[in-house]
Structure 1
């Protein structure tokens, strides 16, 4: 595989999941964080899975893009590692799968979350939704995954599909379809939006996004994530041109403006949320 190859052209998602005929399913793990405080409710053990097809201009983890590389681990290996920190989770913490894009490895993710629930561990999916499709067999696996997912952190990159494609390389129609599925099936979720000057920080788009979120059910929290430049060094080290060179993080006033237009103060369910599945 070429290093950081261009994968903007959609391909069959089923060709990248690990479904061996014999033996346990193995996932490709980029890294783990033992005490994640920003990866869902409570303190969480976060597994960052390898692989993502989108090329978000502000991505700060380009080292997670390539598919089919990383540390091979089984679900039980991840959970055995995670349970060493269970005493710190309380009644809201647990495990989170992030990325990269977790849904690229849906077979492993389903195996992991199913076994986590059997162990009494709360599960959280951190996703941007790009792999979502209603084509089978993928969609059936997604439905099973939602049944063992307590809450999802959904990153809406841009509400406008044309602008979403400029920003990430893909449109957002299937992503919004995934969110509608979650809403109509009462799946708890947090909505996240990265505020990027000259890309997403426009009042008309923020207002449209805020109005859209208002139509959804079971949104426990809405977060504005200010763009930062902490990942620039990785691009330089990997020899990749950084797409947002020269763009500075948003000012405090623009962050407050975005929070107002997205009505973040209206979503307070996260304060009392408990895993219910």
Structure 2
């Protein structure tokens, strides 16, 4: 997948992101993911051989030019795809960003925790946003097509032990993930975590279906419906019992 530790394989870049971490952010969507989530709205980021090679130094220069827009809260977020597949290269990227005084954030599904990922979490990632796909193994496999084997939760535990900030993200799919018992289960599991600043809820939508069609892939959630306002409010009410802040995107 990679040719040099001085480059990253990138799908796209958003210059003024406001939904991928605090403040205004430069969001670098990396190419490649080992999951194939049923609701993925960026399925074109899954192929590990796609995307384009970007020199890390060029990305740093681009971020530095945006520092005045970042203000006190903003910075750079790497999303995907799954960023931690390029952990070794991200260590170099984030190290340079920190040298330039730029806030760093990783949006990850948490399935990879190797030496380089640990170095990122310990030394260079000011924030991580951890995507919780499902609290139970059968549900996780149904959504992602892969086994979890506690990997997401192991990364959460590792981050908690570091004492550094973490946000959770969770997609609400009626009758699949938006069930009161699952929300209580998630809240109970994470209620004693000190590093979780907030949980962000993403109500289910079908905005990415056209991308699945373009790839010739079958979108298996065509019959899934969107949440009613009452269902979203109920989810927020439940999770507020466990988390400091609950945000709906």
Quick check: TM above 0.5? yes
1:255 aligned partner? 232
1:143 pairs with 2:118: yes
CA distance in 2, matches of 1:217, 1:82: 30
1:76 pairs with 2:76: no
1:95 aligned partner? 76
CA distance in 1, matches of 2:189, 2:167: 14
Once the two structures are TM-superposed, the CA of residue 233 in structure 1 deviates from its matched residue by 0.9
Report the secondary structure of 1:83's partner residue.
helix
8 Å Cα contact 1:27/1:74 also seen in 2: yes
CA distance in 2, matches of 1:113, 1:78: 11
Moved over 4 A (4+): none
8 Å Cα contact 1:207/1:261 also seen in 2: yes
Structure 1 residues 264 and 53 mapped into 2: Cα distance closer, same or farther (>3 Å)?
Answer: farther
8 Å Cα contact 2:236/2:246 also seen in 1: no
Structure 2 gap segments, 5+ residues each = none
8 Å Cα contact 2:191/2:242 also seen in 1: no
Structure 1 residues 204 and 153 mapped into 2: Cα distance closer, same or farther (>3 Å)?
Answer: same
Report the secondary structure of 1:142's partner residue.
helix
1:113 pairs with 2:64: no
8 Å Cα contact 2:9/2:54 also seen in 1: yes
Once the two structures are TM-superposed, the CA of residue 68 in structure 1 deviates from its matched residue by 2.8
CA distance in 1, matches of 2:194, 2:161: 7
Q: Which deviations, in whole Å up to 9, do the C-alpha atoms of 1:149-206 show, x marking residues without a partner?
A: 1001111011112211111112331110110110111120111110011321111111
Report the RMSD for the aligned CA atoms in angstroms. Answer: 1.8
Report the secondary structure of 1:222's partner residue.
strand
TM-score normalised by the chain length of structure 2: 0.93
**Map 1:49-64 → 2, pairs under 5 A:** 49-64=30-45
Report the secondary structure of 1:254's partner residue.
helix
1:275 aligned partner? none
TM-score normalised by the chain length of structure 1: 0.84
Number of residue pairs the alignment of both structures matches: 245
8 Å Cα contact 1:48/1:99 also seen in 2: yes
Structure 1 gap segments, 5+ residues each = 1-15, 133-138, 271-277
Among 175, 186, 189, the residue aligned to 1:212: 189
